[in-house]
Amino acid sequence: MTRTNVTNFRNDIFRMMEQVIRYNDPIGVTTKDGSCVVMSEEEYNGIMETLYLYSVPGLAQEIIEGLNTPAEDCVPESEAAW
């Protein structure tokens, strides 16, 4: 993660934001009152999706079991009893 202060960020915001978007390289921006992180929308959405998936009880185990299930043992969705 690139780090900078708010003055430098403000002076070079367009180049820094392009770096964040193009390379998914977040930027930590410090101020006298604290810090923040600027990240791409793609990176943010990925983090939010991961947090959601971790919040569903048992989902991680189901995914692991699914990955370890041979394809011939899988039931097509149209045949599954929901």
CATH code of residue 23: 3.40.1620.10
Residue range(s) defining the domain that contains residue 58: 42-69
Residue-averaged pLDDT of the chain: 91
The answer as to whether 52 is a domain residue is: yes
pLDDT at 54: 87
Pair 7, 34 in one domain? yes
Nearest-10 Cα torsion for 19, 25, 26, 28: -80
Give the total number of structural domains in the chain. 2
Strand ranges across the sheet with 34-38: 2-5, 27-31, 34-38
Q: Is the pLDDT of residue 51 over 90?
A: yes
pLDDT at 81: 57
Predicted confidence band at 45 (pLDDT cuts at 50, 70, 90)? very high
Pair 8, 22 in one domain? yes
Mean pLDDT for 66-73 is 88
The answer as to whether 79 is a domain residue is: no
The answer as to whether 60 is a domain residue is: yes
The answer as to whether 78 is a domain residue is: no
